[in-house]
Amino acid sequence: MRTVFLTIVGGLAVVGLGDPLEPRLAAAGDERVQVGWNAAILRHPPDWYASPDARSIADNVLRYQSPHGAWPKNTDLASPPASEDALAAAHGGPEANTIDNDATTMPIRFLARMTEATGDARYRAAAERGLDYLLAAQYANGGWPQYYPLREGYYSHITFNDNAMINVMEVLRDVRDRVAPFAFVDEGRRARAAAAVERGVGIVLRTQVRQDGRLTAWCAQHDEKTLEPAWARNYEPPTLSGSETVGIVRYLMSIERPSPDVVASIEGAVGWLGRVAIAGLRLEEFTNTAGARDRRVVPDPAAPPLWARFYDLRTNRPVFTGRDRVIRHALHEVEHERRIGYAYYGTWPARLLEEHPRWRAARQARALRAAPH
């Protein structure tokens, strides 16, 4: 799970997403900025991507690209590998060739910016190889596994967890639509990206869970063959997700001319998110009797709504599962290590529920304009 962090270094504010990999200082004009491998790498001014610092990072990113065209997760791609053995381990180790934790999709977006800024054929070729990897990894049914080539176990499930599949679809949508910085992509890849996005939307609609015929949400991962909600890690059971559902719905809401099926999917999921919101509880951190950092929920009538990460597939009751794979129904029943190491509660849908009425109104206005007079 990711969190937004803000670090102040020598008076500089550094914003990143996830567990920040060690940043390093680099010159940018007359200022000093933090440069590291996190989401901030995609938010620099356009001219920065032509700088020596950007090129240095990009050259490292090229080295980390695997023979399959992908990148490893949880790796500081901004820094050179410690040795050739370390590079070989990154190419062939257990965290190689994945779309998890922004791996592969973020390097593609970064190299696309480098291509736009520099015209360097090496960056373009690496970005294209990355796109080819994403296209090759897609199942015939439209889903994407967490790892490709396929690995035995939950790694081969269709993976919405941490927005992995949605990140892929967003990249391919931007390629399809020639959104900057993907203007360099050739028409053949653009057409393949369009077809992949269409199949991806199809599997999103097919995997949405129904309760008594009513559209609800998605599991963080679905079996790649049966499409049923599936286990991932021991603490990630087959449930309805209060987190991953948000990214899926936001993607569907970005479709310019949604089909009736897409509209029904959005409305069903938004309605479900509204129904399962938890009122009167506040999530807080505290120091427990052992002197350790801990988390708990406490009654608070003034607290904004909370959502559980996991909801029972039939009853919508919040579910909490630790490393022992036992289903529980209260956060305090999960072992301490998981309570502080995993986001079982969050406010993920709050902004989406604020945006949804505006999306609905805009769609209805477009329909009125398009209606014959």
Number of domains composing the chain: 2
* Model pLDDT for residues 66-87, shown as the tens digit of each residue: 999 999 999 999 999 999 999 9
Q: Which of 167, 189, 206 corresponds to the end of one domain?
A: 206
Domain that holds residue 159: 42-206
| Same-domain pairing of 225 and 187 | no
pLDDT at residue 14 is higher than 90: no
- The reported pLDDT for the residue numbered 160 is 98
**Which is the catalytic residue, given 2, 32, 129, 233?**
233
| Same-domain pairing of 344 and 266 | yes
- The reported pLDDT for the residue numbered 33 is 46
Q: Is residue 21 part of a domain?
A: no
| Same-domain pairing of 200 and 274 | no
| Same-domain pairing of 81 and 135 | yes
Q: Is residue 16 part of a domain?
A: no
Q: Which of 161, 186, 206 corresponds to the end of one domain?
A: 206
Q: Catalytic annotation on 206?
A: no
* Model pLDDT for residues 201-212, shown as the tens digit of each residue: 999 999 999 999
CATH classification of the domain holding 133: 1.50.10.20
Q: Is residue 6 part of a domain?
A: no
Q: Which of 157, 182, 206 corresponds to the end of one domain?
A: 206
Q: Is residue 24 part of a domain?
A: no
pLDDT at residue 3 is higher than 70: no
pLDDT at residue 7 is higher than 70: no
Q: What pTM does this model have? A: 0.90
pLDDT at residue 217 is higher than 60: yes
- The reported pLDDT for the residue numbered 35 is 65
Q: Is residue 332 part of a domain?
A: yes
Q: Catalytic annotation on 233?
A: yes
| Same-domain pairing of 367 and 299 | yes
Q: Is residue 81 part of a domain?
A: yes
| Same-domain pairing of 220 and 133 | no
| Same-domain pairing of 86 and 183 | yes
pLDDT band at 280 (very low <50, low <70, confident <90, very high): very high
| Same-domain pairing of 252 and 279 | yes
Q: Is residue 19 part of a domain?
A: no
| Same-domain pairing of 76 and 199 | yes
| Same-domain pairing of 135 and 243 | no
| Same-domain pairing of 242 and 321 | yes
Q: Is residue 5 part of a domain?
A: no
* Model pLDDT for residues 295-317, shown as the tens digit of each residue: 999 999 999 999 999 999 999 99
How far from chain centre, in Å, is Cα 179? 19
Average pLDDT of the chain is 91
**3-state SS string over the chain?**
CCCEEEEEECCEEEEEECCCCCCEEEEECCEEEEECCCHHHHCCCHHHHHCHHHHHHHHHHHHHCCCCCCCCCCCCCCCCCCCHHHHHHHHHCCCCCECHHHCCHHHHHHHHHHHHHHCCHHHHHHHHHHHHHHHHHCCCCCCCECECCCCCCHHHCEECHHHHHHHHHHHHHHHHCCCCCCCCCCHHHHHHHHHHHHHHHHHHHHHCCEECCEECCCCCEECCCCCCECCCCCCCCCCEECCHHHHHHHHHHCCCCCCHHHHHHHHHHHHHHHHCCECCEEEEEEECCCCCEEEEEEECCCCCCEEECEECCCCCCECEECCCCCEECCHHHCCHHHHHHCCCEECCCHHHHHHHHHHHHHHHHHHHHHCCC
| Same-domain pairing of 129 and 53 | yes
Q: What is each CA distance from 45 to 33, 112, 113, 177, in whole angstroms?
A: 12, 14, 10, 22
pLDDT band at 328 (very low <50, low <70, confident <90, very high): very high
- The reported pLDDT for the residue numbered 371 is 80
